[in-house]
Structure 1
Amino acid sequence: MEHQFRKISVIGLGYIGLPTAAMFASRKVEVVGVDINQDAVDTINRGGIHIIEPDLDMVVHAAVHEGYLRATTNPEAAEAFLIAVPTPFKGEDHEPDLSYIEAASKAIAPVLEKGNLVILESTSPVGATEAMANWLAAARPDLTFPQHCGQESDIRIAHCPERVLPGKVMQELIANDRVIGGMTMRCSKLAATLYETFVVGECVLATGPRVAEMAKLTENSFRDVNIAFANELSVICDKLQMDVWELISLANRHPRVNILQPGPGVGGHCIAVDPWFIVSSAPKESRLIRMAREVNDAKPTWVLRQIVAAMPSEDYPVIFYGATFKADIDDVRESPSLAIVKKAQLILGDISVVEPNTPLGHEGFRQIDLSDARNADALHVGLVAHREFETAKPTNGICLDFARVWE
């Protein structure tokens, strides 16, 4: 190995950054996590967590109390820096917003030292890693960077996108292959050495950061296109008065067909976002990817129309089942179900939500228990197939199921 890392820093302690920091710390590497959220920093330093992810609490608690993990709001010197900050949109036109990456780059620049490795983990549009390298170079003209000095640069730069599933992050961080795209081969190999601290999957070296960036975007765009096909089928089946679940079950009996399940839309911090990064990079060439996004983005509006049409009277109560972006997690980022509930509250007024995985009081909804919801005379709307709902089909009122919530 070219290098044994003794101290690393993870910038951004959210759904990816904190589990990654905890995983390195569990291998007895000193980890300094950096986040602008003081409450999150304080919680972590007490050995707690500010997000929900199975098994994360135990790993963080052990790492903090054994002295391998601590959090701060100010970056400090380390041998490697992993940037895991958000990459949202600018406004309604889906233009990528790299301001968080830029801010993180400028924050760590003063503490960089010769020989350091900087890895961008944030899912990013093509070219973001090179932009990060340029921001670092502008802030530290006393150091050399790969875009100017190639293999002999003082600082190594690479991109290694996360590829994990919420709810299984701690397992998949270890087991999944990692795609690593360094700005030089030396950068790639050094980054691979770092991840091999805990990754048992293969660290696959791409030919550069752009390929690694595009690989992550392609993975999620592939899933988005396939979900769009299922969602479009559900709309077609409704028009033709047939059961989409039966149709898909029959079609999937073909040995080379595997249609996904439709739902109220597509959410989360990846699938609902990443395809637009490809569209922004090649708008004329990405026609299918754009259309899939438009199909999935339109599904919540279609669902809302179905709800309104099914109401027997204007004041009939409506109960929504699920508000997270997928089943059995607490995450509501880009959740189509949450968007539907918000719009329904504006239109219908008298609504309730059953969401067993996360409190929604800050959203202004009336949240009720499943036991109270089941027996209510109401329009019961299934949006997220949480395991708690599977055998708890409502006994009164009308049911609309948009995600096969009730078998």
Structure 2
Amino acid sequence: MESMAEPDVVVMGLGYIGLPTAAIIARSGAKVLGIDVDPDIVETINSGRVHIEEIDLDGLVSGVVARGNLRASTSPAPADIFVIAVPTPARTDHSPDISYVLQAAASVAAVVKAGDIVILESTSPVGTTAEVAALFARERPDLKIPGHCAGTPDIAIAYCPERVLPGRILVELIDNDRVIGGVTPRCARKALQFYRRFVRGECVTTSAAAAEMTKLTENAFRDVNIAFANELSRVADSLGVDVWEVIRLANRHPRVNILSPGPGVGGHCIAVDPWFLVHSAREETPLIRTAREVNDAKVDYTIERATALIDSMPGVPVACLGLAFKANIDDFRESPALKVAATLAQRFGERIHIVEPYTKTLPAAFAGCGAQLSDVDAAIEICPVFIVLVDHEVFRSIPLAERRNKHVLDTRGIWPDQPAVPA
């Protein structure tokens, strides 16, 4: 498939990355079939609606579905390009679980044909793309698979990770640079032609292994730097110093850029992916492993501080502000805020009011505890204690006049004017 004029594209996985990717590709003019194992998600998308919260995604999906450029199904069909964007979770021992990737690859192998391009986008441990190629070699002995044949392969297999920020996914899928790693250089060049259809950022080609490690490196870098901020916040607490002021002042140095501490680190990427590097090279990654442990321990530390505050105010209602893993999104995956709030709800029951503007129901972690979902106005009215866990804009907008008499544990530093104790 050399012209790439109007390719048929299959996107495996319609989650937080797969659906926006499928919609962007469809907007470029390609015919896209999105695949998901959940029939409810398939039905939602085929009706022109979305099942996730992301700025402008609903309008984009509605438009490309109405034009016939995007439809969804539970099983793949023959196409020219296959993009795999399924989850790669970590197991309880932090080892990577690539079973969803291999299942998706097996489904693609059943329908792939000579001339097709297969691209893995899921964040994966180094060597996963090679495993996908090996799977194709086993499943399709009738095709010449790159890395497993002499001469020119029949298909191209490449790895190209996303590097987007929730809340800006549609913009960053287009504007951000992409790293495209091929099983062979020819595979990378073939995938490059595809991404140039809709990516304005620079597309750089490399090996599949280098691209896989690049993605893990980006997330580990963030995790290590957040761990420094989280550890710094604990030091400041022990010394009775305002960590937010310290960070503001330290960042005035021209070569210092300390990130913001919080109640931990969440999301499917930063809270998970560094473990993939640790799993691949345990003896060589003491810093990365320690950073993960520091950030995970910040959750327990936050629970201890919140519990102490609540115990000091017997019987009064308490508002936990936020459940998402970051501001202004509805993504609760690996969220430290959710873990803190759920633990407090199990301990203090109906005293706990959860304020999360991006959900209409409490997650399963709150089942049977008696906690209730409240809005911001109700929390201001009835809760003398605020535990700030997420820096949603709606929380930042609460003026001092409405929180002056609140007892506040602010884990996000959104209210620098908040009195240390109620006036």
TM-score by length of 1: 0.97
1:177 maps to 2:177: yes
Offset of residue 383 of structure 1? 0.8
| Counterpart residue number, 1:295 | 294
| Counterpart residue number, 1:389 | 395
| Counterpart residue number, 2:306 | 307
1:43 maps to 2:22: no
Gaps of 5+ in 2: 417-423
| Counterpart residue number, 2:385 | 379
Q: Residues 126 and 213 of structure 1 are in contact (CA less than 8 Å); yes or no, is this contact kept in structure 2?
A: yes
Deviates more, 1:317-326 or 1:361-370: 361-370
Q: What secondary structure does 1:18 align onto?
A: helix
RMSD: 1.4
| Counterpart residue number, 2:413 | 404
Deviates more, 1:293-302 or 1:127-136: 127-136
Provide the rounded CA distance (Å) in 2 between the counterparts of 1:56 and 1:87: 23
Q: What secondary structure does 1:179 align onto?
A: strand
TM-score by length of 2: 0.93
The Cα offsets for residues 57-84 of structure 1, whole Å up to 9 and x where unpaired, read as 1111111111111111111000110000
| Counterpart residue number, 2:29 | 28
Q: Residues 381 and 401 of structure 1 are in contact (CA less than 8 Å); yes or no, is this contact kept in structure 2?
A: yes
Q: Residues 180 and 208 of structure 2 are in contact (CA less than 8 Å); yes or no, is this contact kept in structure 1?
A: yes
Provide the rounded CA distance (Å) in 2 between the counterparts of 1:197 and 1:291: 41
Provide the rounded CA distance (Å) in 2 between the counterparts of 1:194 and 1:373: 50
1:231-250 → structure 2 map (5 Å cutoff): 231-250=230-249
Q: Residues 134 and 148 of structure 2 are in contact (CA less than 8 Å); yes or no, is this contact kept in structure 1?
A: no
Q: What secondary structure does 1:227 align onto?
A: helix
The Cα offsets for residues 259-285 of structure 1, whole Å up to 9 and x where unpaired, read as 111110100111001100100100010
Offset of residue 318 of structure 1? 1.8
Q: Residues 375 and 396 of structure 1 are in contact (CA less than 8 Å); yes or no, is this contact kept in structure 2?
A: no
| Counterpart residue number, 1:160 | 160
Offset of residue 360 of structure 1? 3.3
Offset of residue 377 of structure 1? 4.2
Q: What secondary structure does 2:180 align onto?
A: strand
Provide the rounded CA distance (Å) in 1 between the counterparts of 2:150 and 2:162: 25
Q: Residues 318 and 383 of structure 2 are in contact (CA less than 8 Å); yes or no, is this contact kept in structure 1?
A: no
The Cα offsets for residues 343-379 of structure 1, whole Å up to 9 and x where unpaired, read as 1112222211111122233434411111111133432
Q: Residues 23 and 61 of structure 2 are in contact (CA less than 8 Å); yes or no, is this contact kept in structure 1?
A: yes
Q: What secondary structure does 1:230 align onto?
A: helix
Q: Residues 320 and 381 of structure 1 are in contact (CA less than 8 Å); yes or no, is this contact kept in structure 2?
A: yes
The Cα offsets for residues 73-131 of structure 1, whole Å up to 9 and x where unpaired, read as 111000110000000012x2101001101110111111110111100000001111111
Provide the rounded CA distance (Å) in 2 between the counterparts of 1:32 and 1:44: 11
Deviates more, 1:230-239 or 1:103-112: 103-112
| Counterpart residue number, 1:222 | 221
Offset of residue 148 of structure 1? 1.2
Q: What secondary structure does 2:76 align onto?
A: coil
Q: What secondary structure does 2:284 align onto?
A: coil
Q: Residues 137 and 145 of structure 1 are in contact (CA less than 8 Å); yes or no, is this contact kept in structure 2?
A: yes
The 1:218–1:405 alpha-carbon spacing in structure 2 relative to 1, beyond 3 Å, is same
Q: Residues 137 and 148 of structure 2 are in contact (CA less than 8 Å); yes or no, is this contact kept in structure 1?
A: no
| Counterpart residue number, 2:420 | none
Q: What secondary structure does 2:408 align onto?
A: strand
User: Aligned AA for 1:341?
Assistant: A
User: Aligned AA for 1:72?
Assistant: S
| Counterpart residue number, 1:334 | 334
User: Aligned AA for 1:391?
Assistant: S
Offset of residue 315 of structure 1? 3.0
Offset of residue 335 of structure 1? 0.4
Q: What secondary structure does 1:146 align onto?
A: coil
Offset of residue 147 of structure 1? 1.4
Q: What secondary structure does 1:89 align onto?
A: coil
Provide the rounded CA distance (Å) in 2 between the counterparts of 1:314 and 1:28: 61
Work out the number of aligned pairs and report it: 405
Offset of residue 150 of structure 1? 5.9
Q: Residues 265 and 296 of structure 1 are in contact (CA less than 8 Å); yes or no, is this contact kept in structure 2?
A: yes
Q: Residues 82 and 121 of structure 1 are in contact (CA less than 8 Å); yes or no, is this contact kept in structure 2?
A: yes
The 1:161–1:231 alpha-carbon spacing in structure 2 relative to 1, beyond 3 Å, is same
Gaps of 5+ in 1: none
